[in-house]
Structure formats: C-alpha cells, structure tokens
Structure 1
C-alpha cells in the first residue's frame, strides 16, 4: 500500500505502535520529521543560503507540474530535512537540481506515483542518469534515517476536525479543503517551519473556520484549545501568521500576474503551480502502480557521500 500523508503510520515498517484512536503516536513522533531548530533559525536569519532552498523548491515544482499538490509537498519535506541534516557543502546549480529531483523521485516511490526519468531531463541543461539519481537517493535516505513516512500537518486534520462536531458532510469537506490550501501555502513560510505539524494543522482548521464559519469560530477555538497536545499560544500565533500570509498573497496577486505574463522564471513557475494546486485539492489523484524500484527494494548497505557523485 502506498504512503498516505493523512495516515503515515499505516503499514509502516518502523518499530512503533500503530496509531491509536486519539492519534497519540503521531504526536509523540512528529518532531522526528521536522527540520532541525538550527536550520530553521539559519534560514530566518539569512545565514543559510536561502537561494539554495528557493531554487530547489522551484525545481521540485517544475518536476511535479503534471501532478497534484501532495507529491511536491512530500518532496519539499524531504528536502528541508535533508538540508537540515546533511546540507550541501558546495551548492552548485547542478547539485541543487540533483537533490531536488532525487527528493521528487523518493516521494514518487513512496506514493506509488508513476514517474519517468525523462521528467528530470532537458530543463536547465542538466542531464542525470539513473545511477546518479539513485546515489543521491541513498544519501538522502541516510540523512533522513530512512524515516520516509513523513508526519505532516495532513496527518492531524482528521483528528482535529473531529473537535468541530460538524454534522453536514459538505460543510465538513469544505472546511477540510480550505485547511489543506492553507497548509500547502504554509510550507513556503519559514516562520511556520519551527512549529510542530500538529499546531499547523490545528491552526489551518481554525483559520478556515474563521473564514467559512465565523459565528462558530469561538466554539471551535475553545474545543481545539482543550486538547492537551496543543500549545494554545503557538496555535494562535500560527493563526495570525496564516492571516498575514493570506493578506500578503492578495496584495501580490496582481504583481504575480504581470510578472508571469512577461517572463517564465523558476519563481514565477512556482507561483503559477501553487495556484494550480489550489484548484486541484478537491479532486482525487489517479493512482497507478510503480514501475520503478521501491525504497524497500534497496539493499541495506547504502553508504554514499557527495564525493561519489559526479556531474554527468
């Protein structure tokens, strides 16, 4: 069974208990799937070359332009955790692009998304063979300690939405869809990276309820705040950041349209792709069997270093 972002521990080979009805296991394990505090602070302070992350995310977006929003989301999760643990000693353009396409390849294998090596070629003038990508995959797997079933904010949506006690299925689905949109946008905001995935999920649902069900918002906030796993202060701060994020997006929308019509840079392509993501959230992605080797097919001996990677 392919990896499901909403149920990350299902059929997991990790030595951890299955998720209990109250999702205790998810709350206990979520911090293992976050970038390090040092990495996040370096990004916020500008000490870490933000262009590396930005260019890698732009490449991931280009590679995933034919797919829904969850494949690139998982790939960016792998990217941040890899950069947090391993980093890139010499962030040359071809290395950054190789890391990006390897993160997408791993995410595709985890979600059983059919992906061709051709999708990685052509753009940017870099061509990587299968062996080079596989070596980088090993390096990423080692840096992530083979924890590929990422616990993300999507893993907590079902848990927190149960606090709302909504009886109307269409309303429940609309609330969830809006929260998913906010979570997807939040991945690009470095301020939210330091917050636990559960906090981001709770905040996204609260922000969605504030927009769609403003009269019931106080009751929803009280209900979620009663959860012992939720830091109320962090949750409210996250809600404020999401509101600011929405306002900033509205203000820059007209500027983005002008730039997108005049040029086709990676950043503009990324912005266009996020807009495409929002329109596809409610649709079910087509699922196909993998034709490429899965992660479980890799041997146990997978020691790889940057020095073993050569530009093709």
Structure 2
C-alpha cells in the first residue's frame, strides 16, 4: 500500500483526528537538523547551489517519468534531511547525482511507483551508477534519517487546519486545500523555509490561500489558526 503524505501515521485514507497531537509532537523528527541551519550561515553558497541543482534534477525526473508531484516532494524531503546530517564533500559532482537518484528511488518505493534507474541516467555523461551502488546509498540515506521514511510534511496538517474554519460554503474547502497545496509545493524550493516546522508552513500556506479566496472571512480564519493550541 502506498504512503499517503496527508496521513503519514496511518495507512487509512480517512482523517483521524486523534493522531493530530502525535503529528505535532513528532514533526521535529522529520526536518533538517538544527546543526544544518547553522552550517547554512557558514557555507550557505555551497549548500544553496547543491540543493538548487538537486531539486532541478528531481523535478526533471518528475516530468520525464510523469510522476505525481508528491514523489519529488518526498524525494526533496529525504534529500534535505540527509544533507543536514551528512557532510557533503565539495568538488565531487557525482555525489549530487547519487544522492538525487537514491532519494528519488526511495520516494518512488514509498509511493509504490516504479523508478527506472536506467531511464533517469540516460544521456548522463561522466557518471552512471549500478543498482548495487544505488542500494548502498539508499541505506546511507535511510540511516541518516533514522529510517523514518513516513515523512511528516506540511501536507499532513492541511486537513486539520482547514477543519478549524467555519466556511460559509463547506464545498469551498477543496479549492482552499488545492490552493494551499500549490503554495506548499512552491515553498519547498526556497531554502529559507527549512527553518520552519511543517505545521507552520501548512498554517501559513492556508492563511495565504484563504486571504486570496475568502478575504471577507480571513480575519476569522486567522484567529482560528492563532488560537490553535498546537501553534506557537
């Protein structure tokens, strides 16, 4: 059964409200380490460049393999968590390619989708990797993440925050969710957002979306978010 980013702690499709406290308690285990945020201040140019190229390659795989956007999102989450806990040597471009392939492969497995290593490496010059090498790198990535593959992301909190709103038209919750989801996808590309917990990114995305879609109700929505016991 494929992993659902909206319900990371369960295989059930329905929304389980009793898991919300666990999500907020556990989300810090699924983000880049605090040490990495300090490293960004001293080696910001290298890591920003590394991450930008890695994301570009991951998105390229999305289009070439026709993946749904949650696979590259999960792959970038794995990549961010890995490079935050594992020192990346500079001047070795093959490492970036290996990290990207391994994170994509892991994300595809979690979403129960086939990932073709040969198709991804087609046209690459200089470095290609065999299955054994990629499998070894996957283990390194998993070890850095403490084998927490069921990532808690901003998508895990979207339904909860929307449930706090008293919408004039209940059917408008889906357009609101769709717009917030679009914002979350775009936010992942910005390295500065690594400083924020998934729940805060989700709450912020929903507030932006609600201000666009329902400006007259926005003050009420804002109060609902700010008064939530889990949001600080």
TM-score by length of 1: 0.68
The answer on whether the counterparts of 2:184 and 2:201 sit within 8 Å (CA) in structure 1 is yes
1:43 to 40, 43, 49: 40
1:64 to 59, 62, 65: 62
Unaligned stretches of 5+ residues in structure 2: none
Say how many residue pairs are matched: 225
CA change 1:91–1:180 in 2 (3 A) is: farther
For 1:217, the equivalent position in structure 2 comes to: 218
Give 3-state SS (helix, strand or coil) of 2:87's partner: coil
CA change 1:23–1:96 in 2 (3 A) is: same
For 1:174, the equivalent position in structure 2 comes to: 175
The answer on whether the counterparts of 1:179 and 1:205 sit within 8 Å (CA) in structure 2 is yes
Distance in 2, matches of 1:58 and 1:124, equals 15
| Alpha-carbon offset, residue 67 of structure 1 | 1.2
For 1:245, the equivalent position in structure 2 comes to: none
For 1:150, the equivalent position in structure 2 comes to: 151
> Over residues 156-177 of structure 1, what are the superposed CA-to-partner deviations in whole Å (9 max), with x where a residue is unaligned?
0011000112263541111000
* Worse-superposed segment, 171-180 or 55-64: 55-64
> Over residues 193-229 of structure 1, what are the superposed CA-to-partner deviations in whole Å (9 max), with x where a residue is unaligned?
1111111111111110001100000000001111111
The answer on whether the counterparts of 2:73 and 2:185 sit within 8 Å (CA) in structure 1 is yes
| Alpha-carbon offset, residue 110 of structure 1 | 0.5
For 2:116, the equivalent position in structure 1 comes to: 116
For 1:31, the equivalent position in structure 2 comes to: 28
CA change 1:30–1:171 in 2 (3 A) is: same
| Alpha-carbon offset, residue 45 of structure 1 | 5.3
Give the CA RMSD over aligned residues.
Answer: 1.8
Distance in 2, matches of 1:208 and 1:44, equals 31
Give 3-state SS (helix, strand or coil) of 1:181's partner: helix
> Over residues 28-59 of structure 1, what are the superposed CA-to-partner deviations in whole Å (9 max), with x where a residue is unaligned?
00000000123124335544612111111111
The answer on whether the counterparts of 2:4 and 2:11 sit within 8 Å (CA) in structure 1 is no
The answer on whether the counterparts of 2:85 and 2:144 sit within 8 Å (CA) in structure 1 is yes
1:55 to 48, 53, 56: 53
| Alpha-carbon offset, residue 189 of structure 1 | 1.6
| Alpha-carbon offset, residue 138 of structure 1 | 0.7
Choose 1 or 2 for highest CA Rg. 1
1:200 aligns with 2:201: yes
Runs of 4+ off more than 3 Å: 44-48, 167-170
Give 3-state SS (helix, strand or coil) of 1:94's partner: helix
1:162 aligns with 2:163: yes
Unaligned stretches of 5+ residues in structure 1: 13-18, 232-312
Distance in 2, matches of 1:34 and 1:81, equals 6
